[in-house]
Every structure is written in structure tokens, then in C-alpha cells.
Amino acid sequence: MDVDHDSLVAFAKSWGLFYLIALAAGVLVYVFWPSNRKRFDRAKKSILDKDDRPGE
């Protein structure tokens, strides 16, 4: 298959844009999804736990 320069440019300029927007939307939804708040809060604080042993 022969891909010429112009079609590669067109592909990069269209799909490249769409997938990055989709990705950004996906990340924002994940980050602000209400039920994720609890796990993020736990992750944020649990590293400060002084216990230095693996969990049971």
C-alpha cells in the first residue's frame, strides 16, 4: 500500500485531533466521576501511613 504525503497529513490533522480530544474528555470524566472521589482521597492519604509492612 502506498501512502502519499498529503493523505498522511490529512489523517494526522483530523484523527489526531479527534483522538486527543476524546482522550482529554475521557481523562476529565474519570477524574471528576463522583464515585471515584473516595478512592482518590484514600490513595492521597494512605501513603502517609507509618506502617511499613505489606498488607495481609
Partner 1 sequence: MLSGLTVSERQLSLVVLGLLAVCGLAMIGAGRNDDALGTHGFIVLGVSLGLTFLVISRYFDPEPSQERLSEYYDDPTRAGIILAMVWAVIGMFVGVWVAALLAWPDLTFDAAWASFGRLRPVHTNGVIFGFGGNALIATSLHVLQRTSRARLPDQFSPWFVLIGYNLFCIIAASGYLMGLTQSKEYAEPEWYADIWLVIVWVVYFLIYIRTLQRRKEPHIYVANWYYMAFILVVAVLHIVNNLALPVSLGHAKSYSVFSGVQDAMVQWWYGHNAVAFFLTAGFLGMLYYYLPKRAERPIFSYRLSIISFWGITFMYMWAGSHHLHYTALPQWVQTLGMTFSVVLLVPSWASAGNALATLNGAWHRVRDDATLRFMMVAAVFYGISTFEGSFMAIRAVNSLSHYTDWTVGHVHAGALGWVAMITFGSFYALVPWMWKQGRMYSPKLVEVHFWFALAGTVIYVFAMWNSGIIQGLMWRTYNDSGTLAYSFIDSLVAMHPYYIARTVGGLFFLIGAVVGAYNIAMTIRMARAAKVREEAGTDVPLPRPVATAMQAGE
The radius of gyration of the chain from alpha carbons, rounded to an integer in Å, stands at 21
Per the CB < 8 A criterion, the answer to whether 30 and 36 are in contact is yes
Total residues at the site for partner 1 (CB under 8 A)? Answer: 26
With respect to partner 1, which residue has the nearer C-beta, 1 or 50? 50
Torsion of Cα atoms, 33 then 34 then 38 then 43, to 10° = 20
Within 1-56, which residues bind partner 1 (CB under 8 A)? 5, 9, 12, 20, 23-24, 27-28, 30-32, 39-48, 52-56
Chain residues in the site for partner 1 (CB under 8 A):
5, 9, 12, 20, 23-24, 27-28, 30-32, 39-48, 52-56
